[in-house]
């Protein structure tokens, strides 16, 4: 889809405005087979003898991807390998998953030397590095992995950190919209010399479900709002402490105030890419970040390491509540890491609707 600009939004080439605020992720026959497995918007892939997922150190012929990943329901991503290893261990406890005796969690993608990936029953925990190009490459390969593995209606989460806009460090922000540094609600990437714009949309229902799981007893606030995705940590986020700075503190504050008055509550570096690529794939997705500082009050991250480590758990706790609730309510997914979500029968060319993913 190449988009043309219409206001802040995009059209999909058929003149359809894809920037309707109330839309949930559009899951259609373009992105799903009859049984809910992921259908790629790329006819080339199923014609290929093999598909090498180079940055994951996996391949469609070298690995039995259905056997290895067919039961995956949740894909959780965050910047660092350490955080995603910790999340894998945490979710393992939370969902009561047991590894076979004598085994331990293994980094499935270790020989890519790029990303780390851990699998805990129906949950994949993957590091995505920093910024749009890094998470973009990962999303292409993970979406293809979902297709090859015949995963049904997977849900993706980004579990991140960010700078708050008028929000104290430690506050958890669930993104209900994503915008770039120009406040455009799309992700744009040059393709064949032309700028392709894809609407950066998140599933509003999932946002509400996550917000409802915030516990009034949590010793921190959980809020929703628009997330700004910058292409840089320093100048791109209006910091005064980069190697270069050609603006004044007043300019910075004026910019942050403008962001705040446009509903932007936090800044990080992957939101538009994550929202746009999952949306384009028809994958329900959410972003939950913890603020490391209030950018209205400063630029340097000077909170002690132990405190930052505790804060980073907060988005994980919320996402784990969602996953647990889903597994308890649906109760259809085996937690032994095998089988019940895998579809072994051929499913190509079978189209229609997917089942509902909601569980309220």
Largest CA distance in the chain: 62
Residues 214-253 that bind ligand URA (CB under 6 A): 233, 237
| Interaction between residue 162 and ligand URA (CB under 6 A) | yes
Q: Give the Å distances, CA to CA, from 16 to 13, 41, 116, 293, 296.
A: 7, 18, 38, 39, 38
* DSSP codes of every residue in 229-274: E-S-SSGGGT-S-SS---S-HHHHHHHHHHHHHTTEEEEESSHHHH
| Interaction between residue 160 and ligand R1P (CB under 6 A) | yes
| Interaction between residue 161 and ligand R1P (CB under 6 A) | yes
Beta-bridge partners for 285: 156
Tell me phi and psi for residue 246, to 5 degrees: -110, 20
Residue from 37, 60, 127, 161 that binds ligand URA (CB under 6 A)?
Answer: 161
Containing 66, the helix (H) or strand (E) segment is helix 65-69
Residue found under tokens 């480590």: 309
Structure tokens at 224: 């929703």
Residue 78 interface partner, choices ligand URA, ligand R1P, none, CB cut-off 5-8 Å depending on type: ligand R1P
| Interaction between residue 268 and ligand URA (CB under 6 A) | yes
| Cα 142 from Cα 354, distance rounded (Å) | 20
| Cα 204 from Cα 128, distance rounded (Å) | 23
The verdict on whether residue 114 carries a ligand-binding annotation is: yes
Measured from the CB atom, the residue of 80 and 303 that comes closer to ligand R1P is 80
Residue from 267, 285, 317, 318 that binds ligand URA (CB under 6 A)?
Answer: 267
Measured from the CB atom, the residue of 233 and 255 that comes closer to ligand URA is 233
Residues 127-146 that bind ligand R1P (CB under 6 A): 130-131
The verdict on whether residue 354 carries a ligand-binding annotation is: no
Q: Which stretch binds ligand R1P (CB under 6 A): 5-13, 197-205, 257-265, 266-274?
A: 266-274
| Cα 107 from Cα 71, distance rounded (Å) | 18
Supply the minimum distance, in Å, between the C-beta of residue 156 and ligand URA. 19
Q: Give the Å distances, CA to CA, from 94 to 17, 137, 200, 318, 358.
A: 41, 30, 31, 12, 21
| Cα 67 from Cα 63, distance rounded (Å) | 9
| Interaction between residue 327 and ligand R1P (CB under 6 A) | no
Closest of 190, 174, 171 to residue 132, by C-alpha: 190
The verdict on whether residue 169 carries a ligand-binding annotation is: no
The verdict on whether residue 188 carries a ligand-binding annotation is: no
Residue 267 interface partner, choices ligand URA, ligand R1P, none, CB cut-off 5-8 Å depending on type: ligand URA
Beta-bridge partners for 11: 17
Residues 25-84 that bind ligand R1P (CB under 6 A): 78-80
The verdict on whether residue 104 carries a ligand-binding annotation is: no
Could you give the string, one character per residue 269-288, with x where binding to ligand R1P holds by CB under 6 A and - elsewhere? xx------------------
| Interaction between residue 319 and ligand URA (CB under 6 A) | no
What angle do helix axes 81-95 and 305-330 make, rounded to 10 degrees?
Answer: 40
| Interaction between residue 141 and ligand URA (CB under 6 A) | no
| Interaction between residue 270 and ligand URA (CB under 6 A) | no
Beta-bridge partners for 188: 197
Q: Are residues 314 and 214 in contact, defined by beta-carbon separation less than 8 angstroms?
A: no
Measured from the CB atom, the residue of 29 and 80 that comes closer to ligand URA is 80
Supply the minimum distance, in Å, between the C-beta of residue 129 and ligand R1P. 7
Q: Which stretch binds ligand URA (CB under 6 A): 88-96, 156-164, 191-199, 315-323?
A: 156-164
Q: Specify binding-site residues for substrate.
A: 237, 239
Q: Specify binding-site residues for phosphate.
A: 114, 158-161
Q: Which residues bind ligand R1P (CB under 6 A)?
A: 78-80, 130-131, 160-161, 233, 268-270
Q: Which residues bind ligand URA (CB under 6 A)?
A: 161-163, 233, 237, 267-269, 292
């Amino acid at each position: 889809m190449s988009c043309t600009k219409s206001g802040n939004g995009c059209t999909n080439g058929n003149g359809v405005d894809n920037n309707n605020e109330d839309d949930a992720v559009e899951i259609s026959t373009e992105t799903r087979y009859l049984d809910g497995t992921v259908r790629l918007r790329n006819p080339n892939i199923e014609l290929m003898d093999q598909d090498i997922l180079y940055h994951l150190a996996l391949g469609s012929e070298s690995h039995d991807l259905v056997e290895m990943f067919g039961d995956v329901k949740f894909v959780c991503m965050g910047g660092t390998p350490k955080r995603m290893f910790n999340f894998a261990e945490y979710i393992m406890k939370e969902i009561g998953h047991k590894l076979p005796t004598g085994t331990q969690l293994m980094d499935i993608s270790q020989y890519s030397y790029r990303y780390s990936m851990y699998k805990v029953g129906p949950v994949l925990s993957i590091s995505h590095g920093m910024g749009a190009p890094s998470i973009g490459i990962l999303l292409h390969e993970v979406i293809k992995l979902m297709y090859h593995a015949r995963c049904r209606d997977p849900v993706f989460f980004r579990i991140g950190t960010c700078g708050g806009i008028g929000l104290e460090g430690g506050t958890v922000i669930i993104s209900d919209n994503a915008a770039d540094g120009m406040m455009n609600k799309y992700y744009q990437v040059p393709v064949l010399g032309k700028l392709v714009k894809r609407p950066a949309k998140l599933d509003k229902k999932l946002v509400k479900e996550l917000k409802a799981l915030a516990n009034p007893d949590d010793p921190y606030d959980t809020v929703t709002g628009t997330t700004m995705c910058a292409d840089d940590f320093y100048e791109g986020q209006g910091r005064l402490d980069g190697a270069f700075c050609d603006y004044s503190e007043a300019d910075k504050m004026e910019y942050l105030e403008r962001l705040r008055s446009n509903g932007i509550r936090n800044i990080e570096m992957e939101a538009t890419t994550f929202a746009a690529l999952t949306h384009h794939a028809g994958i329900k997705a959410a972003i939950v970040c913890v603020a490391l500082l209030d950018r209205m009050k400063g630029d340097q991250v000077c909170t002690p390491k132990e405190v930052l480590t505790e804060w980073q758990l907060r988005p994980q706790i919320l996402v784990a509540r969602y996953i647990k609730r889903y597994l308890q309510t649906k109760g259809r997914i085996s937690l032994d890491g095998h089988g019940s979500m895998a579809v072994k029968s051929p499913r190509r060319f079978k189209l229609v609707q997917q089942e509902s993913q909601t569980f309220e």
